[in-house]
Amino acid sequence: MERQNRQALRADPLRPGRSQRPPPDAHPLAAPSKTLEIAALVIGAGPVGLFQAFELGLLGVSTHIVDALPQAGGQCIALYADKPIYDIPGIKVCTGRELVARLLDQVAPFQPTLHLDQTVDSIAAQPDGRYRVQTCGGQAFLTRSIFIAAGVGAFQARKLHLPGLEVFEGTQVHYQAPALADAKGKSIVIVGGEQAALEAAADACDSPARSVTLVHRRDVLHADPDTLARIATNRSNGRLRFVAGQAHGFKGKARLHTLCVLDADEQEVALKLDQLWVFLGVSPRLGPVAQWGLDMERKQLRVDTASFATSAPGIFAVGDINHYPGKKKLILCGFHEATLAAFGAMQYIRPGEAVALQYTTTSTKLHKALGLG
């Protein structure tokens, strides 16, 4: 199976729905994909990582971006996709999702390559001055410049903590909805009450699944109006069964066949299943960043504010992951940092070349790069 989870950049808003989800990663122990020799690697596809790719694009540098999440957007998508932001310069108000869609649209002319669903595990300096970067998905890169835009850490799916359940992970238990074709004739139980869970439940109802059950601790569900309407329709026509309660156990040894749920009256409800899809949100794990040997302060990477360089040559840190006197964890501050980091990195990317500041308003070179004719 193709290990590399690469996806050409899309300019449309990335809703965490199945249609826009790349295929899940293959097993971490599978053979690595070919090593890519690249000019610049951005770690993190949050708002700052995306803008970093844009600023590098303006300087004629193409980028690869890696993110642990299955979609771009970082905290804006993972934590507050539908909440309003009021302090992006020039945009009176937009949601997290809308901001990410705009950033993707803005960077699209430079065609960065997104490697989603992959966590960067290691960065190792090479004798020739480059860095070898390895992801848990088996992808490796060789590059002279790295931009760490890792925010508060790599986002990972929150697991359903039922001892022993992990042995079914990837076969019967999924933390991202698997392909709908696999649902044919199956009984699917979905745990969660937010957008991703509800979207997956509504999609499963449209699939040839034998039965679909949604489990959430309370009968209070959160999603966009369209998805809530689909859920309501499927509940009222009996296609979707809803159970209010908490998963507290399972049955099955070689094969998982039952999820045990405690309902509001502390009564056990046994749900027969073939597939268990769990959507309990994501939580960040700083983990790998702290092990790359870079100077840190308060769990953040110490940087020089002239170029946002870290303690290692050619490695820059931008956005929520860095620390310097007066640091504010705001998106617009990250945008400034990414701009200076792009200029600062040119001495590693194109050594000896003078880099002139050009205005997007007037530079024909930039217009060409932006595809403006």
Ligand X SMILES: Cc1cc2nc3c(=O)[nH]c(=O)nc-3n(C[C@H](O)[C@H](O)[C@H](O)COP(=O)(O)OP(=O)(O)OC[C@H]3O[C@@H](n4cnc5c(N)ncnc54)[C@H](O)[C@@H]3O)c2cc1C
Interface ranges with ligand X (CB under 6 A): 43-49, 66-69, 74-76, 79-80, 85, 87, 119-120, 149-155, 288-289, 319-320, 329-332, 334
Query: Smallest distance, Å, CB 42 to ligand X?
Result: 9
- Complex with ligand X: residue 141 or 250, whichever CB lies closer: 141
Alpha-carbon span 117 to 127, nearest angstrom: 30
**Is 99 within 8 Å of 76 (Cβ atoms)?**
yes
Residue nearest to ligand X according to CB distances in the complex? 151
Q: Least distance from C-beta 135 to ligand X, angstroms?
A: 7
Provide, rounded to whole angstroms, the least separation between the CB of residue 221 and ligand X.
Answer: 20
- Cα–Cα distance for residue pair 244/215, rounded to 1 Å: 6
Q: How far is the CB of 213 from ligand X (least distance, A)?
A: 30
Query: Closest CB to ligand X among 110 and 292?
Result: 292
| Complex with ligand X: residue 87 or 297, whichever CB lies closer | 87
Nearest CA among 154, 148, 155, 152 for reference residue 133: 148
Task: Work out the angle between the directed axes of helices 47-58 and 96-107 (0-180°, nearest 10).
Answer: 20
Say how far apart CA 287 and CA 310 lie, in whole Å.
Answer: 18
Please, which residue, 99 or 212, has the CB nearer to ligand X? 99
Shorter beta-carbon distance to ligand X: residue 47 or 344: 47
CB atoms < 10 A from the CB of 273, how many? 22
Residue 159 in tokens? 């697991």
Task: Closer to ligand X by CB, 48 or 301: give it.
Answer: 48
Q: Which residues of 285-324 are buried (b: 16+ CB within 10 A; e: fewer)?
A: ebebbeebebebeeebbbbeeebbbbebebbbbbbbbbbe
* 242 strand-pairing partners: 214
Residue 49 Cβ, how far from ligand X at the closest point, in Å?
5
Q: Between 67 and 203, name the residue whose CB sits nearer to ligand X.
A: 67
Count Cβ atoms below 10 Å from residue 283 Cβ, excluding itself.
15
Q: How many residues does the chain have?
A: 373
148 HSE (CA, 13 A, CB side) = 36
Q: How far is the CB of 311 from ligand X (least distance, A)?
A: 18
| CB nearer to ligand X: pick between 79 and 370 | 79
Computed over its alpha carbons, how large is the radius of gyration of the chain?
22
What is the 8-class DSSP label of residue 137? T
> Least Å distance between CB 318 and ligand X?
7
Question: How far is the C-alpha of 121 from the C-alpha of 119, rounded, in Å?
Answer: 6
User: Residue 13 or 245: which CB sits closer to ligand X?
Assistant: 13
Confirm if 284 and 153 have CB atoms less than 8 A apart: yes
Residue 301 Cβ, how far from ligand X at the closest point, in Å? Answer: 11
Report the chain's terminal Cα–Cα distance, integer Å. Answer: 40
Smallest separation, CB 74 to ligand X (Å): 2
